[in-house]
Structure 1
Amino acid sequence: MTALSPADALTYPGSLLSADGLLVASYDLEEGGDEIEGYRAAAHHPRILNASACPFTIDYRAASAIHVLNGMGVTLGDSIIGLTAISAIKSAFPDLRFSLYRPARAPEYVQELYALAGDLLSNIITLPCSHHELPDEATVIDVGNHLFWPDFTTLPMIDFFLGALGVDASGVQPQEKANQWLADISLPAVPRKWQNQPYVLLCSTASTPVRSIPQHIRADLVERLIERYDLPVLGFGPVNHARYIDVLPESRDTAHFLALVRGARFVMTCDTAAVHVAAGFNVPTTAFFTTIAPELRVRDYPACHAVKLELPQLRGIHASNRDRDIAMVEQAFSAVIREALPLPDLA
């Protein structure tokens, strides 16, 4: 197998094998600033299935142990959806044992989600590890660096992850695609002040500015929410509005963040993890989408009202903080909030 160039190693749609046989996440290489030489595609290993390199299906009736390399990403939203795919498979085959191999340098708040996943996972292994450590009886699936897989930009995210695990997504019921496993995990109570006080939640910051709600319109949205619901508006980070409450200090870890979303009467957000969390708890949601078509993210969320901003120049961009791109997003949001927003009645 020919070694990949450093640039190709970082963007290869899959996991990597080092010269001495270690399975490696390209994310760890990029975050660690290590020299990137001599890495090969793990998909060339005869035991490793990679749907980007060669599509496959798995008869899970005949499987027992599934080992997933680089599952299921390094962002909270992707991880929720990836675990939803595992949950859908396990609902049909509850005796399956899933082991995930995770990047060592993934953000701690993302790693916390996997610790909360409980019985969905039998084991979590930290990369790198030797390919010789893969159990002989296991089915080994690589979903590494999925951001660079062509299907990731064209399929609903849950269908992408199901396909990457060798499952025909059309055979999975919509309710199995809506992150309902989140409702089964053990979470802390919301802060005492909000245990008997209804509230709505504004989650305005995504992992990249181009998908976030611009700072200068957040106060306007808070005002719209107060006018519509006459409830306290909570959120994560400062907003210049007298009736807005910043609960970022109370959201000290992933479990407390999930609990705050679960406890909300309504969530307003953007293309970020909160929209997937809210769906898992059936919380009514309005979500703004700038660069990604809403149907690729929220197709299976019946309680989510999507607002698509018309930004054809930015379509398909996953991350950007370029001034030109952000200016277009700000202009589009300014136009949208002058119109009526889908703010549903609350039960």
Structure 2
Amino acid sequence: MNMANSGRTMSATRAIAHVRATMTVPATVGILNGFGRSLGDAIVGLQALHLAIRAGVVPPRPLLFRLPGLSTTVEAVHAAADFADIRILPQEFATPDRPIDLGDAVTRVIDIRDFVFDPDVQCRPMIDFFLRRLGLAPEQVPAGCRRNTWLASRVKPARPPLPGGYVLICPKASMRLRDMPDEIHARILRRALEVGPVVTQGIVPDGFDRNVIHLEPCARLDDLCGLVCHARWVISTDTGMVHLADAFGVRCLVFFPTHRSEWRVRDYPRTLSFELPTRLPRGIEFARGPEDYALARFSWFPNGDDLEWLDRAVDQAHRFFESPG
């Protein structure tokens, strides 16, 4: 278990000004692979880019070459980043195996293609990885700046037609290895109903259809942001939703079956995280075979059918989120 904290006390303005005063950058930068395919990677990567531009280590409006075929939501996240010019990176250049010539207009190339396979990204906070690759030392950036502050001012969340004070449950992740098992989802739904109305992005189990609202995936970014920012809590195994919750200051309980908590939520003061015991390699992104899914499921059931640990986690979240002050 880990509760993220706000970290440093040095002001963001002083820190960014100090870095800017000590760096010289070329006129035009091209960034290959605009921070991956997933929602969470895009949100965090663009926060790092926003900081790097403010610090002066990357010039204003760099060329950000993102991969093709992204979901409409991830495309909308990139479109909201008004501090970069978005370009498409042809699929044949998606990996570092094939050099790409960006022409004379680009005087510096930052190549982070296939970063998900970089061993460095699997052993440190994602924001630190992106900051380093962009040329900004993470230790020079206050914890408050490492949060996803760039997004909220650039998206107008749509208010969802849902009852007030709802708890949002996100049982599915971008990678199947991190999905909540159905039994875990059902137990969380039951406990969340003690707090208020419940909305889930998962399938509603039998017996819950009168009490739990099911939502299909949001096709628009403003709808997705509205769903998160108007929630009382978010309970998730999907880190993309956790990064959105931080962007809008929403309290979040998150479970990590494959990653260390500090690699994703170290700087999020309103997030309570639980790192599950696992026999999988920490930081694994893709299943090596069917046995990995069985190992991932086992991490949710360390004591067999006894889910008392999960009840304790929800109880702790209730104390953490609902206590005065």
Secondary structure of the equivalent of 2:62? strand
Aligned to 1:157: 126
- In 1, Cα distance between the equivalents of 2:200 and 2:24? 44
Q: Secondary structure at the match of 2:79?
A: helix
Q: What are the superposed Cα offsets for residues 104-161 of structure 1, whole Å, 9 maximum, x if unpaired?
A: 23333322210122x221x111122894443445321111000111101111100000
Partner of 2:86: 124
Which residue of the other structure, out of 240, 243, 246, is the alignment partner of 1:276? 243
Question: Structure 1 residue aligned with 2:200, among 235, 241, 252?
Answer: 235
Name which of 245, 256, 259 aligns with 2:223. Answer: 256
Compute the displacement of 1:79 (Å): 1.0
Query: Secondary structure in 2 aligned to 1:237?
Result: coil
The answer on 1:286 being equivalent to 2:253 is yes
1:66-81 equivalence runs, <5 A: 66-81=29-44
Q: Does the CA-based 8 Å contact 2:73-2:219 persist in structure 1?
A: no
What TM-score does the superposition give when structure 2 sets the normalisation length? 0.79
CA contact (8 A) 1:68 1:100 kept: yes
- Tell me: CA distance 1:188–1:313, structure 2 relative to 1, closer, same or farther (3 Å): closer
2:105 paired with 1:142: no
CA distance in structure 2 between the partners assigned to 1:134 and 1:223 by the alignment:
58
Counterpart Cα distance in 1 of 2:201 and 2:311: 24
Q: CA deviation at 1:326?
A: 3.8
Matched AA of 1:238: I
Question: What is the CA distance between 1:323 and its match in structure 2?
Answer: 4.2
Match of 1:345 among 318, 321, 325: 321
Q: CA deviation at 1:164?
A: 1.0
Q: How far apart are residue 267 of structure 1 and its match?
A: 0.7
User: Structure 2 residue aligned with 1:311, among 253, 262, 278?
Assistant: 278
TM-score by length of 1: 0.75
Deviations 1:300-344 (A, max 9, x none): 101110111111444232133644224313424954314343313
Report if the CA contact (8 A) 2:28-2:105 is conserved.
no
Contact 1:156 1:296 in 2 (8 A): yes
Distance 1:82 1:113 in 2: 11
- Could you tell me which residue of structure 1 aligns to residue 167 of structure 2? 200
Whether 1:216 and 2:216 are equivalent positions in the alignment is no
| 1:329 has 2:318 as partner | no
SS in structure 2 at match of 1:192: coil
Which residue of the partner structure matches residue 56 of structure 1? none
Q: Deviations over 1:247-272 (max 9, x none)?
A: 226x2223311221111121111142
Note the C-alpha offset of 1:201. Answer: 0.8
Residues in 2 aligned to 1:192 and 1:108: alpha-carbon distance in whole angstroms: 22
The CA distance in 1 between the partners of 2:298 and 2:121, in whole Å, is 24
Shift of 1:216: 1.9
Q: Which has the higher contact order (CA 8 A, sep 6+)?
A: 2
SS of the aligned residue for 1:67 comes to strand
DSSP 3-state at the match of 2:193: helix
Q: Distance in 1 between matches of 2:89 and 2:313?
A: 48
CA contact (8 A) 2:169 2:198 kept: yes
Measured after TM superposition, the shift of residue 192 of structure 1 is: 3.5
Alignment equivalent of 2:212, drawn from 222, 244, 252:
244
Contact 2:181 2:297 in 1 (8 A): no
2:80 is the counterpart of 1:112: no
Cα shift at 1:210: 1.9
Cα distance, 1:95 vs. partner? Answer: 6.1
Q: Decide whether the 8 Å contact of 2:67 with 2:88 is kept in 1.
A: yes
Contact 2:258 2:296 in 1 (8 A): no
- Percent identity over the alignment? 32
